[in-house]
Amino acid sequence: MPGLKDIRKKIGAVKSTRQITKAMKMVSAAKFRRSQGRMFELRPYADKMASVLADLSVSVDKEHPLLQERPRKKVEVLVFTGDRGLCGAFNTNIMKAATRLLKELSDKGLEITVSTIGKKGTDLFKRRKANIRKSWTGLSGKISYANAQEIAKDFIENYTSEVFDEVLIVYNQFKSPMVQKVTIAKLLPIAGLHSDEIISEDHSCNTNTPVKFEPSEQAVFDKLLPKNIEIQIYRALLESQASEEAARMAAMENATRNAEDLISQLTLQYNKARQAAITKELIDIVGGVEASK
């Protein structure tokens, strides 16, 4: 059995850990509230923009390069992870889903490249010798629209240059502070965004009615289609950020609760050891008295 001094040291160490996890939970809660607010503000705009463009793309000839669907030969997968750990299964779930997706695409004989957002995903795919085309790190906690514009510009240039024929994104969609859903969606070509997972069913356009474009169809799509890519990437960044902070907040709350349980167990063990030591001393004293008689 450990001595009293060893048990006191363990109790002190666990109390220090509890202070750290409690502080991290409070920090994550503050970051989560900010991320959640930004995400909820963007969602209606992102949904409506994608919905309207999806309807418009049905009613026109798909001559714009971002609308054209080519035979799938080369596929790019963009994976959203965090830069740091200590957030439960947030990163693990994303990387498992991405790994399964890459295997499915590989089994179909497609040429696959990977782009990553977040240090955790970058490190994993480097270890697995994946074909990483591009990586962005250091965005956690300081996401801006400029980040989405930079990422979107890279994908638009490479897609129109036919470096790849399709872009899929894998990210955590925020459902509630306790639930984050791993989502796989098509980013390019843009017609693929018309899905239940990231776009609402409220379509504002009637595709049976002829659509008149001002100043021209080409000018409208040249402006709005790249903007839509930026918005959808920005949304995925904010969804991922809110999910990460919610997962970290829950993980730190569980860690704090476990530390408190461990402190209670160690305190009980300490008291039992102390009582045993006192009892032993009393027995030695009584034994000595009896021996001196």
**What's the CATH number where 230 sits?**
3.40.1380.10
3-state secondary structure of 198: coil
**H or E, element range at 193:** none
16 within some domain: no
CB 28 within 8 A of CB 252: yes
Per-residue pLDDT band at 166 (split at 50, 70, 90): very high
Helix 90-107 and helix 217-292, axial crossing angle in degrees, nearest 10: 130
274 within some domain: no
186 within some domain: yes
5 within some domain: no
For residues 42-63, give the mean pLDDT. Answer: 78
9 within some domain: no
For residues 191-195, give the mean pLDDT. Answer: 45
Catalytic residues: 87
233 within some domain: yes
Give the CA distances from residue 190 to residues 68, 102, 113, 182, 277, in Å, rounded to whole numbers and listed in that order: 8, 21, 19, 21, 74
Domain count, the chain: 1
Domain range enclosing 245: 24-202+210-249
Per-residue pLDDT band at 182 (split at 50, 70, 90): very high
What is the distance between the alpha carbons of residues 171 and 148, in angstroms, rounded to a whole number? 14
| pTM for the predicted model, two decimal places | 0.82
11 within some domain: no
pLDDT, one tens digit per residue, over 118-142 is 999 999 999 988 899 999 998 888 8
239 within some domain: yes
pLDDT, one tens digit per residue, over 226-276 is 999 999 999 999 999 999 999 999 999 999 999 999 999 999 988 888 888
